[in-house]
């Protein structure tokens, strides 16, 4: 199958799509331009197996390592040295001092992971940086200090303010993109949270995604994967768990993906729960 101009992949069975196809295209373009660019933005995050948020899978992002490449074939635009269908090659990051791989090394190089996380946020907004940042911190691939340095290196880029503010809340205790987004939305609404809060009820110990600080309100993010096995036992156990928490005096708020796109509804649900628990 054709990946990009001059590059192909051999497939066995169904052709890859979505994130898998983007990863192959990023590796191909990274090799094609390896003497003058590195894989960057969400393209690098996907190559590293990190989650992304609303990434444009149709376009691979590279970053030039040579200030003289802005005249490369392709239409140049503000902030990008090369732009063509399926590819954006960004201008070098000032002061970062990246270098291309040696001629003998056929592997494509990548932007430092922390810089790619910040770049993803510059493209897609604060949550596009926070989702992979939480996962990377959880995996000990980056830490807060490295993220701060990346923000400083990219401080002149448009949109860095909201990304800097969001990354101040990076927390490796968040176990999924859904939990990361839930925390972000709730904090933007003014709620303070305790992630992975342990509760004892009826002789059992439970762990909730969040406790609203200073209250008896627990917030749970319900992603589809929790019930993916379709087993009755899974649903029954979840109901038993919630019933035990409620009998112990806790108020449980459940949020789904669709709720996170309606922050005012989230505010109402949590505020009502706080009032009920008072």
Q: Are residues 160 and 196 in the same domain?
A: no
For residue 92, is it within any domain?
yes
Q: What is the mean pLDDT of residues 60-78?
A: 60
Cα 254 to Cα 64: distance, rounded to the nearest angstrom:
44
First to last CA, the chain: 61
pLDDT over 80 (residue 162): yes
Q: What is the mean pLDDT of residues 74-90?
A: 69
Write down the pLDDT at residue 72. 40
Q: What is the mean pLDDT of residues 261-265?
A: 96
CA angle 275, 277, 278 (to 5 degrees): 65
Per-residue confidence at 201, pLDDT binned at 50, 70, 90?
confident
pLDDT over 60 (residue 227): no
Q: Are residues 100 and 238 in the same domain?
A: no
Give per-residue pLDDT as tens, 106-156.
Answer: 678 899 999 999 999 999 999 999 999 999 999 999 999 999 999 999 999
Q: Are residues 46 and 140 in the same domain?
A: yes
Cα 203 to Cα 139: distance, rounded to the nearest angstrom:
32
Answer for the pair 133, 174: CB distance below 8 angstroms, yes or no.
no
Domain encompassing residue 267: 177-277
Domain count for the chain, please give it.
2
Q: Are residues 74 and 20 in the same domain?
A: yes
Looking at 118, 142, 167, which one is the last position of a domain? 167
For residue 232, is it within any domain?
yes
Q: Are residues 7 and 139 in the same domain?
A: yes
Q: Are residues 54 and 161 in the same domain?
A: yes
Neighbours of 180 (CB within 10 A): 27
For residue 172, is it within any domain?
no
Looking at 107, 133, 167, which one is the last position of a domain? 167
Q: Are residues 122 and 17 in the same domain?
A: yes
Of the listed ranges 41-45, 105-109, 206-210, the least confidently predicted one is 105-109
Q: Are residues 82 and 155 in the same domain?
A: yes
- The number of helices, as runs of H, and strands, as runs of E, in the chain is 10, 11
pLDDT over 80 (residue 161): yes
Q: Are residues 157 and 187 in the same domain?
A: no
Q: Are residues 112 and 247 in the same domain?
A: no
270 exposure class (CB count in 10 Å sphere: 0-12, 13-18, 19+): buried
| Cα maximum dimension of the chain | 69
Average pLDDT, the chain: 88
Q: Which of 182, 206, 199 is nearest to 261 (CA)?
A: 182
For residue 231, is it within any domain?
yes
Looking at 167, 190, 208, which one is the last position of a domain? 167
CATH number at residue 197: 3.40.960.10
CA distances in angstroms from 73 to 66, 82, 88, listed in the order given: 14, 7, 12
Write down the pLDDT at residue 103. 57
Question: Which residues, including other chains, have CB under 8 Å from residue 32's CB and lie 6 or more apart?
Answer: 4, 6, 7
Q: Are residues 27 and 154 in the same domain?
A: yes
Give per-residue pLDDT as tens, 170-187.
Answer: 999 999 999 999 999 999
Q: Are residues 206 and 110 in the same domain?
A: no
Record the tokens describing residue 271, joined without a space: 């505020």
pLDDT over 60 (residue 249): yes
Write down the pLDDT at residue 77. 38
């Amino acid at each position: 199958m054709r990946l990009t101009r001059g590059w192909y992949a051999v497939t066995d069975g169904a052709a890859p799509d979505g994130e898998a196809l983007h990863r192959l295209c990023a590796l191909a373009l990274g090799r094609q331009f390896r003497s003058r660019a590195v894989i960057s933005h969400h393209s690098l995050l996907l190559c590293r197996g990190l989650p992304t948020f609303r990434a444009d899978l149709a376009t691979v992002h590279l970053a030039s390592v040579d200030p003289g490449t802005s005249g490369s074939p392709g239409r140049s635009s503000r902030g990008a040295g090369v732009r063509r269908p399926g590819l954006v090659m960004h201008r070098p990051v000032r002061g970062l001092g990246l270098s291309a791989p040696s001629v003998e090394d056929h592997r494509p190089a990548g932007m430092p992971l922390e810089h790619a996380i910040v770049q993803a946020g510059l493209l897609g907004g604060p949550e596009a940086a926070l989702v992979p940042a939480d996962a990377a911190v959880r995996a000990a691939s980056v830490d807060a200090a490295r993220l701060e340095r990346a923000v400083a290196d990219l401080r002149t880029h448009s949109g860095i303010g909201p990304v800097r503010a969001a990354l101040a809340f990076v927390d490796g205790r968040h176990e999924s993109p859904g939990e990361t987004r839930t925390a972000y939305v709730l904090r933007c609404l003014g709620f303070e949270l305790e992630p992975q809060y342990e509760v004892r009820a009826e002789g059992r110990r439970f762990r909730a995604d969040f406790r609203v600080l200073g209250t008896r309100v627990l917030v749970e993010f319900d992603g589809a994967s929790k019930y993916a096995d379709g087993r009755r036992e899974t649903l029954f156990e979840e109901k038993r768990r919630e019933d035990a928490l409620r009998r112990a005096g806790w108020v449980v708020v459940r949020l789904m993906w669709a709720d996170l796109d309606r922050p005012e509804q989230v505010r109402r649900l949590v505020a009502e729960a706080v009032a009920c628990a008072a």
